[in-house]
């Protein structure tokens, strides 16, 4: 027997309001909007591949995690698809502001504006040095690299690629986007054959 849970109604949610939610409910709070994500297997598969690439050369002072809550302010407790945080917060949730050095979002069917614009503003205000948005909606997976401007108020887009992406900061990271696109195409073809 299942019991329906009715969530409290709010126009604007705050961090304090989250205490009224069931503890096992997955949520994000972005600019006062409560988001209950339900990602596809394809989204989660790509997120895991990206996490493995980011983690490959991760120094011991950091840990790379998926779907981790970040404590930013009263109206924001987002859950980046992938985030790199200081190791001292290994057992914490949400992770305190200032611990994250990289956040990555994978665009899903209804999240493009939120990922490209709204979350970019939130993460920039929080001082996260690097923000990447990965788009899987087209034949070739693409990545937009954003870095925090010197005033720590907004991101500057450093690049956009569908090729092999490499950076040295926060540590050496290489993501082979053509290989990920080919892998995804093969998985989509196999899934289509099984339908």
Is 148 contained in some domain? yes
Is 142 contained in some domain? yes
pLDDT interval class at 1 (50, 70, 90): very low
Is 8 contained in some domain? no
> Residues 165-176: what's their mean pLDDT?
97
Cα separations in angstroms, 5 against 21, 22, 25, 129? 10, 9, 11, 38
The total domain count for the chain is: 1
Report the chain's mean pLDDT, rounded to a whole number.
91
- DSSP, collapsed to helix, strand or coil, labels residue 159 as strand
Q: What is the pLDDT of residue 100?
A: 94
Q: What is the pLDDT of residue 4?
A: 55
Q: Is the pLDDT of residue 171 over 70?
A: yes
> Residues 145-165: what's their mean pLDDT?
92
The residue among 174, 158, 161, 159 whose CA lies nearest residue 58 is 174
CATH number at residue 54: 3.90.1570.10
Is 158 contained in some domain? yes
Distance from C-alpha of 7 to C-alpha of 142, rounded to nearest angstrom: 36
Is 2 contained in some domain? no
Torsion of CA 82, 88, 90, 94, to 10 degrees: -70
Where in the sequence is the domain holding 186, given as residue range(s)?
A: 16-194
Is 87 contained in some domain? yes
Is 102 contained in some domain? yes
Distance from C-alpha of 100 to C-alpha of 83, rounded to nearest angstrom: 7
> Residues 89-116: what's their mean pLDDT?
92
pLDDT interval class at 169 (50, 70, 90): very high
Residue pLDDT, tens place only, 23-79:
778 889 999 999 988 889 999 999 999 999 999 999 999 999 999 999 999 999 999
| 135 neighbors 161 (Cβ within 8 angstroms) | no
Percent of the chain with pLDDT over 70: 96
Is 11 contained in some domain? no
> Residues 167-183: what's their mean pLDDT?
97
């Amino acid at each position: 027997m299942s019991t329906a849970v009715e969530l409290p109604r709010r126009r604007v949610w705050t961090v304090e309001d989250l205490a009224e939610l069931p503890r096992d409910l997955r949520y994000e709070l972005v600019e006062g909007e409560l988001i209950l994500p339900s990602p596809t297997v394809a989204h989660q598969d790509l997120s895991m591949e990206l996490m493995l690439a980011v983690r490959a050369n991760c120094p011991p002072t950091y840990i790379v995690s998926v779907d981790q809550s970040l404590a930013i302010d009263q109206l924001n407790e987002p859950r980046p698809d992938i985030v790199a945080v200081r190791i001292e917060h290994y057992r914490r949730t949400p992770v305190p502001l200032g611990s994250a050095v990289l956040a990555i979002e994978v665009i899903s069917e209804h999240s493009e504006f939120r990922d490209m614009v709204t979350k970019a503003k939130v993460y920039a205000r929080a001082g996260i040095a690097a923000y990447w948005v990965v788009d899987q909606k087209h034949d070739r997976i693409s990545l937009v690299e954003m870095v925090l401007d010197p005033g720590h108020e907004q991101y500057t887009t450093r690049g956009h690629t569908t090729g092999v992406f490499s950076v040295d900061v926060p540590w050496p990271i290489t993501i082979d986007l053509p290989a990920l696109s080919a892998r995804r195409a093969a998985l989509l073809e196999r899934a289509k054959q099984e339908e």
